[in-house]
Structure 1
């Protein structure tokens, strides 16, 4: 079996956590020879239509998911089929309506959804509840350069891919030195704190190209599209991708 890396990314619909352009994401995937790409924006499926359309034009299989987070804990949920997409839509709706806590709504199990988690607290909780049927660990490889290096290695040494224990996640925030002050202000606003009180571990990636905000002034920030139903979006995604070609590192509880 030739394993494929699972690359999960975010778009501008995740505000400061994702790339400002969905086509840029698809271009990145195409340049690195990816046959499939997953979009998992934060608590929503806002970019699913644009993403699925762009992937279709680039001959890339679109995988649709969402990073469900309450601000403290997070789980990435990916639809394996149309039923899974419908379930994910329902999960997002219930969560946004504040019906129940995150882990009361996002329950690993079944064959329609995949759950990826890097939070030890949530992993242990799922183990206690015996809800690990569709749960996988998700160590993160952040940054375009690191992800690009991994993809290059995978293409040159496919026999090594099966031994990789990480699911790479692209976090491509395109910022230049001139944009850093504004970025810090926006981060402070999103965290409801002052710039001076931002955590010391805050890191700001450098831009590989022109400045982000200069580009945004030349094009719409949010290219809104006609609102479609869940069924319409699901039809854009064939869900014919063979998940057996992914090397998914299951969470194994070794006890104490």
Structure 2
């Protein structure tokens, strides 16, 4: 039997975007019968220790990762082992400290022990030069999914499905919109479609 695993998940540690607390995410995953859950807050591992503790307390196997975004590039990066964790920490440190940070080059330099998932075609093409092991095209509903699937077929980079979770449950979308308006210092009525997540971006049952 195959089990769906949420690999793109943000908590309130994703400043200005994520709504749910880590406890809520772990408890919801357990209630849905999920065996594993990733936490991939943006550009950091801020809630990592608490996530590992909470996941284990609820019987969930934690998957460590982060969604890295710099300039026009983004990638979901998951840790395979201790070496991968060290490399992810190196990338995140450089992202925050290096004024000339290049996400593509940094991932190429420290890719060992990491799984990279992205819908950034330029990034994927660059990483493919080093091989497609642990490299995946991200397919997310309403995020250019058809184009991403076509790109996967054309390049031979395998696809993986995600839901880009920013909400613990569907009813948190209104709260998310308020958070985004505050983060952007704008009115709710001025929010554009790319300023928020989608209504379906909650921790849902497969």
TM-score, L = length of structure 2: 0.73
Matches within 5 A, 1:13-28: 13-28=13-28
SS in 1 for 2:13: helix
Q: Distance in 2 between matches of 1:19 and 1:185?
A: 13
What number of residue pairs does the alignment pair up?
A: 180
After superposition, the Cα gap between the structure-2 partners of 1:182 and 1:28, relative to the gap in structure 1 and judged at 3 Å, is same
Matches within 5 A, 1:48-127: 48-98=48-98, 99-107=100-108, 112-127=113-128
Mapped contact 1:39–1:51 kept (Cα < 8 A):
yes
Are residues 1:188 and 2:184 paired? yes
SS in 1 for 2:40: strand
Cα drift, residue 165 of structure 1: 5.1
Cα drift, residue 15 of structure 1: 1.8
After superposition, the Cα gap between the structure-2 partners of 1:110 and 1:165, relative to the gap in structure 1 and judged at 3 Å, is closer
Matches within 5 A, 1:131-146: 131-141=131-141
Mapped contact 2:13–2:46 kept (Cα < 8 A):
yes
- Provide the residue aligned with 2:199 in structure 1: 205
Mapped contact 1:23–1:54 kept (Cα < 8 A):
yes
Give the number of the structure with larger relative contact order, counting CA–CA contacts within 8 Å between residues 6 or more apart: 1
Cα drift, residue 172 of structure 1: 3.5
Structure in which a larger fraction of residues adopt strand: 2
Q: Distance in 1 between matches of 2:121 and 2:162?
A: 18
Computing the radius of gyration from Cα coordinates, the structure with the larger value is 1
TM-score, L = length of structure 1: 0.60
Q: Distance in 2 between matches of 1:38 and 1:180?
A: 20
SS in 2 for 1:41: coil
Root mean square deviation of aligned Cα: 3.0
Q: Distance in 2 between matches of 1:194 and 1:71?
A: 25
2:161 to 128, 150, 167: 167
After superposition, the Cα gap between the structure-2 partners of 1:108 and 1:119, relative to the gap in structure 1 and judged at 3 Å, is farther
Q: Distance in 1 between matches of 2:34 and 2:76?
A: 20
SS in 2 for 1:186: helix
Cα drift, residue 198 of structure 1: 4.1
SS in 1 for 2:115: strand
Mapped contact 2:119–2:138 kept (Cα < 8 A):
yes
